[in-house]
Structure 1
Amino acid sequence: MSLDLAACSDGELASLALGKRQAAYSEIMRRHQDSVFRLLRSLTGDGDAAIDLTQQTFIAAFNALARYDGERSFRAWIMKIAVNKARDWSRRRAVRRFFTFARPIEEGLDVVDPAPRSDVLLAGRRELARTMAAIAALPAGLKDVLVLRTIEGLSETETAQTLGISNKAVETRLYRARRKLEEKLRG
């Protein structure tokens, strides 16, 4: 005995479709495809897009059929899916439109990059590493004064107080440290 699918409710058809009855899903599509298409054509204003979106809507509905509550209106459920597909289409279209009016990437190659070139950065890093190594190689008395005055920015008096030496000693050691550093960096 065959079942008259046309006499079944949408909920019954959904249950049958979940039970692998392809004819039941075909009947659901037959019942709702025209209204889904009309809705999508109204939302998109594009008949070709509406055809594609109708297909996408029914594919999505089939994939989500297990989540459909047979007690509720199938038409409302599938229309909600269709509205979501139309919204997705509109977002993608807006992105495509944005890139349509975007300038060609080749034009961006002429734009000056305010950041230093990588070779300049690399050379700067190498020079910094060389300078830090030269500072580290200074005798402790000279290195301490150089770091406190030049790198940390302490005043002569603050440096003298920190190291427990006179202001004149700070001045002399700073002079010697700079000369030694210059010699190491030159050589």
Structure 2
Amino acid sequence: MSAPLAERSDADVVALALTGQQDAFRELLARYREPVFRLIRASTGDAQEALDLTQDTFIAAFGALGRFDRSQPLLPWLRRIALNKCRDWGRKRKLRAMLWRTAPIDAAHDVPDDAVPADVLIADRAELARVSAAIARLPTRLRETLVLRAVEGLSQAETAAALGISEKAVETRLYRARSKLTYLLAVG
């Protein structure tokens, strides 16, 4: 009797998915949907777009699953795909803004928690929106590094692997991202 999917390694579940077993695809989605969504939401600053881009990421990943090196962890591979989807989204967004001179539509806010006073919630959301907007204005290379290290909490080595750069480059980009973010927040 074989172990349930939830107890199997990523490599085993990927192998099953490659044979067309739908339960294996669902298991991979269940394991990694949340971290991929968090990364994309932090990269784009837009929760609604993050939902769409998360779906696009998994569609692309499942389509390319045969090229995945099963000796490697799956999550860094998914992160690279997600970051590429974010880059594509950013380019398309800039092009649309340039062509039609439209501003991006902010995602709807969640219903507030009744336990938190409204004025505190409004101030927190305003500050979060201000910081998210400043992060979104960072150059792509700096934004991705900052999001992976500071928001997602990846180690320097994991960030380097996800971005395909050296750990020293991660350190340099992170320093520059924090400096630029501090400046952007100071000047408003």
Kindly state the Cα deviation for residue 73 of structure 1 after the two structures are TM-superposed. 1.0
Q: Report what 2:41 is aligned to.
A: 41
TM-score by length of 2: 0.53
Kindly state the Cα deviation for residue 101 of structure 1 after the two structures are TM-superposed. 2.3
Correspondences of 1:67-106 after superposition (within 5 Å): 67-101=67-101
How many residues end up aligned between the 2 structures? 102
Kindly state the Cα deviation for residue 11 of structure 1 after the two structures are TM-superposed. 1.0
**Which structure has the larger Rg?**
1
Aligned AA (1:25): F
Q: Deviations over 1:12-67 (max 9, x none)?
A: 11110001111011101000000000000000000000000000000000000000
Aligned AA (2:31): R
Matched, 1:9 2:9: yes
Matched, 1:52 2:52: yes
Q: Report what 2:179 is aligned to.
A: none
Kindly state the Cα deviation for residue 76 of structure 1 after the two structures are TM-superposed. 0.3
Q: Deviations over 1:70-101 (max 9, x none)?
A: 00010000010000000000000000000112
SS state of the match for residue 31, structure 2? helix
Aligned AA (2:34): D
SS state of the match for residue 38, structure 1? helix
Q: 1:71 to 1:2 in 2, by over 3 A?
A: closer
Partners of 1:51 and 1:94 lie apart in 2 by: 19
Partners of 1:11 and 1:100 lie apart in 2 by: 45
SS state of the match for residue 71, structure 1? coil
Q: Which of structures 1 and 2 has the larger relative contact order (alpha carbons within 8 angstroms, sep 6+)? A: 2
Partners of 1:97 and 1:16 lie apart in 2 by: 43
Which aligned segments of 4 or more residues in structure 1 are displaced greater than 3 angstroms? none
SS state of the match for residue 84, structure 1? helix
TM-score by length of 1: 0.53
Q: Report what 1:63 is aligned to.
A: 63
Q: Structure 2 unaligned runs (5+)? A: 103-188
Q: Report what 2:127 is aligned to.
A: none
Q: Report what 1:139 is aligned to.
A: none
Identical-residue share of aligned pairs (%): 46
Q: Structure 1 unaligned runs (5+)? A: 103-187
Kindly state the Cα deviation for residue 2 of structure 1 after the two structures are TM-superposed. 5.7
Aligned AA (1:94): K
RMSD: 1.3
Partners of 2:40 and 2:6 lie apart in 1 by: 25
Partners of 1:95 and 1:11 lie apart in 2 by: 39
